[in-house]
Amino acid sequence: TANGIINIRKWPVLGMYEPDAIASYHVNGDTYLVTANEGDTRDYLPGFTEETRVGALSLDATAFASQGYPDVTTATGLRNNDNLGRLTVTNVNGAKELDADTDFERLYVPGGRSFSIRRADGTLVYDSGDELEQRTKVLVPTLFNSNGTAATFDTRSDNKGPEPESVAIGNVSGKTYAFIGLERTGGVMVYDISKPTSPKFATYINTAPTDLGPEGLFFIKKNDSPNGKHLLVVSHEVSNTVTIFEIVRDPQDEDGEDSEDDDGE
């Protein structure tokens, strides 16, 4: 953000997917994988820490100039804290990719701040890009890239953002939905993924600050449910709470039939 105003823009940064959760489903006999791309870095004690800030790196001026960022200083350039200086990146990848010196030509952040859909062979067919942040910017602006409270607004923008942590898949009224838990911002994003190459946003539920840190999601089919309704169970590691949501079908889909074959695995 800039002066408390959410300011999403493009930067010369690459994301490493590093999913924390994977679920599968089937469409027309083909298997697809849905990943929640949270990301994580490694620490081997004593002696090795992968995580660092852009401001602590030496950047290759030529490489970044070719991307439209000729100034790589801490004073006014990319390494300034108002730009990318505080962004958490890996120190394992990015140097010696274009030449032999130790300057970083590329910047890689842990995670993609997104969810992806892949074929069973790993081929990427969809990635949500910055959509999760674009949605939270509008739907819960006071919680944007926070730890689930307004007091921590924007404190996670420099470190994995909303952190898509968990995923569950369920079939409701003939459509297949992905439920994506956002560990930091909180809440669950819901997408219709019946067409793997073009998911559609359905809704977003956020019960913060009562529930913080959604860690595990579990979809219960109505045939297995105690009340005969589809349910989504969400466990929260920060608030130590469990929340159960009843999945209400869209009135426009009243004629849809649930398919046992397309439920997530």
Q: What is the pLDDT of residues 54-108, one digit of tens each?
A: 999 999 999 999 999 999 999 999 999 999 999 999 999 999 888 878 899 999 9
Average pLDDT over residues 137-153: 97
**Considering its fold, how many domains does the chain have in total?**
2
pLDDT above 60 for 130: yes
- Note whether 105 and 130 are same-domain residues: no
pLDDT above 80 for 197: yes
- Note whether 29 and 49 are same-domain residues: no
Average pLDDT over residues 182-207: 98
Q: Please report the pLDDT score of residue 128 as a whole number.
A: 99
pLDDT above 70 for 46: yes
- The percent of residues in the chain predicted with pLDDT above 90, rounded, is 86
In a domain, 5, yes or no: no
Using 50, 70 and 90 to split pLDDT, how confident is the model at 6?
A: very high
* CA 265/CA 263 separation, integer angstroms: 7
- Note whether 149 and 241 are same-domain residues: yes
In a domain, 2, yes or no: no
- Note whether 256 and 159 are same-domain residues: yes
pLDDT above 80 for 125: yes
Q: Please report the pLDDT score of residue 97 as a whole number.
A: 81
Using 50, 70 and 90 to split pLDDT, how confident is the model at 249?
A: confident
pLDDT above 90 for 33: yes
> Of the candidates 72, 89, 110, which is a domain's last residue?
110
The one-letter amino acid code at 30 reads: D
- Note whether 102 and 132 are same-domain residues: no
Q: Please report the pLDDT score of residue 229 as a whole number.
A: 96
Which helix (DSSP H) or strand (DSSP E) does residue 136 occupy?
helix 131-139
In a domain, 57, yes or no: yes
Domain that holds residue 66: 41-110
Q: Up-side HSE of residue 159: CA atoms within 13 Å toward CB?
A: 14
> Kindly report the CA angle at 169 between 163 and 172, in degrees rounded to 5?
130
Q: Mean pLDDT check: name the lowest of 48-62, 112-126, 137-151, 249-263.
A: 249-263
Residue 163 contacts residue 183 (beta carbons within 8 Å): yes
pLDDT above 70 for 255: no
- The percent of residues in the chain predicted with pLDDT above 70, rounded, is 93
